[in-house]
Structure 1
Amino acid sequence: MGYRLDPQKRSKGESALIKNKKLFVASVALIVISIALNFPFPHQYPLGEAALMILNIPIKSADGFHYAGVFILFLLVLGMVFLHRSLERYHLRSFFAVIVIVSLLPPFLAESYQKTLAEGIYAVSYVKDESLCKFEMISEETLQGICELSFENYSNEEVSFTIGFYDRYLTEEDFQMLSLMNSGEHNNVKLLPNEAKVVRIKKEIDVSQIKNHVESGEAAYVSIIIKSGDKNRKL
């Protein structure tokens, strides 16, 4: 005759891991949503910010308050609180596991997709931390701009696109800088299959009619938009 342990007499170590399934499901849903909203593809900024831009909702206040980031953080914290309350044990382990997953999973998935399944401009990686633009007045009305931008094409097909520049969070009192590189001819780029390339763009810009513009300086982490047909990526 077999012996069966009374469930009421189980030791604490044998108790169920999940004590509240509804809270657990809610926590997983909130954490997954926060990860999705923080997914850094196809643009540089997360999908949460992209959604706000589509709805014409500002992503940042004049005082620097980042609405999208705070909302995503709120969802994540709420999800972690629910997770803590839903588990019988392993609270500290689950906390660190969530932090690691939220930090590493989005960029890992984006990079994996770009290197394996992406096509066209979606397979193009822009190495922003290696980009640099230099500006210098060469006459009273002419500004010379030289930009060096690093790209890599992960696809097995040739990719062609145009490059546009933009100044992030430009106010009326700020000087135009990167956006000046949009003057004149289009900045066309062609990348061969699996090619890594540093693109050099040089412009001589007539600034006689531009009120606020840079006269001399450098800009790193250059913000660009790459376009091909009706597709574009803000990087």
Structure 2
Amino acid sequence: MNRRRRLAIALMLITSTIILNWTYPDTTALGERIFLWIGLPVWSRGASGLNYVGITSMMMLFAGVFTLRTSLQRHARKIALLALILPFWLPSQLVAAYQSVWAKGIYALEYVKDESKCNFKKEDDQVTGTCSLTFVNHSGQDIQFTASIRNQRYLVGSFLESLDILGDQTLTMPPRQKKTINVAFTKIIADARTPASGTFYGMDLAVKSDEQERDL
């Protein structure tokens, strides 16, 4: 196989890795959607365990980087290292550029999950608390939207599993800003096992604005 053909195969494998792991505008990777569409399992144990999409994409990436290195005559090591980093760095840069220039409404919204949390306190059969949700508005216009916590595996059985009350409050993000919005909530619970107080971090959200909806 000549060098040109090996180079074409390498670029195809590396590009396929980026495509499989592409998540914008929602959090579900494109590779997971493709696997489900053709009837392949995404996880080794239903909704947990080994992620077959991740394993497949990493195998394709290493194969692509190895093939790329063998197809180059000069600077092979440096270019191969760059190709190894590219799939992890490029998608976020492309999304940020798109959100800053072209995206409208909630499609210009970035949710900073690792800076978001919910604190709660239980009194009798009522839970009160505040969710601090951090967003970045990449657009030049105000964004108004509602947010609710999506069902997650680690929330099953807890009152936060269905904390839909967040969806009743309209949130506003000013243009070109990063902001933490505090959203108060009150919820009646029947589960006596709910702790007296606590904190949840890194919740997955569903945001809506008119007909637009995204999972973040």
Could you say which TM-score interval applies, normalised by the shorter chain?
Answer: 0.7 to 0.9
The superposition leaves residues 136-174 of structure 1 with CA deviations (integer Å, 9 ceiling, x where unpaired) of 2111x2122320111232222232211110243348xx4
Unmatched runs of 5 consecutive residues or more in structure 1: 1-17
- The CA deviation at 1:27 is 1.0
Match of 1:116 among 95, 101, 108: 101
Residues matched between the structures, number: 214
1:233 partner amino acid:
R
1:149 aligns with 2:133: yes
Using the alignment, how far apart are the partners of 2:99 and 2:40 within structure 1?
Answer: 29
Aligned-partner Cα distance in 2 for 1:20–1:43:
38
* CA distance 1:41–1:212, shift in 2 (3 Å): farther
Measure how far apart 1:121 and its partner are.
0.4
CA shift for structure 1 position 177: 4.7
RMSD: 2.8
2:79 aligned residue? 94
Structure 1 residues 169 and 59 mapped into 2: Cα distance closer, same or farther (>3 Å)? Answer: farther
If each structure's helix is expressed as a fraction of its own residues, which one has the higher value? 2
Is residue 2:49 matched to residue 1:67? no
Which amino acid counterpart does residue 152 of structure 2 have in structure 1? R
Sort the Cα spacing of 1:54 and 1:188 in 2 relative to 1 into closer, same or farther, 3 A: farther
Report matched runs for 1:168-183 at 5 Å.
168-170=152-154, 174-183=156-165
Which residue does the alignment assign to 1:6? none
Distance across 2 between alignment mates of 1:129 and 1:108: 19
Matched, 1:26 2:9: yes
C-alpha spacing 1:214/1:87, structure 2 compared with 1 (3 Å): farther
Once the two structures are superposed, what CA deviation does each residue of 1:48-71 show, in whole Å capped at 9, x if it has no partner?
A: 234446667653333521121111
Q: Please show how residues 181-192 of structure 1 align to structure 2 within 5 Å.
A: 181-183=163-165, 186-192=168-174
Question: Which of residues 216, 225, 230 is equivalent to 2:197?
Answer: 216
Q: Which is higher, the Rg of structure 1 or of structure 2?
A: 1
**TM-score w.r.t. structure 2 length?**
0.84
- What letter matches 1:37 in structure 2? L
- For normalisation by structure 1, the TM-score amounts to 0.78
Per-residue Cα deviation, 1:198-226 (whole angstroms, up to 9, x for no partner): 22122221111x58756532112221111
Q: 1:74 to 1:175 in 2, by over 3 A?
A: same
Distance 1:234 1:211, change over 3 A: farther
**Identical residues among aligned pairs (%):** 26
SS state of the match for residue 127, structure 2? strand
- List gaps (5 residues or longer) in structure 2: none
Secondary structure class of the residue paired with 2:170? strand
Q: Tell me the distance in 2 between the aligned counterparts of 1:230 and 1:214.
A: 37
Mapped partners of 1:77, 1:218: distance in 2: 39
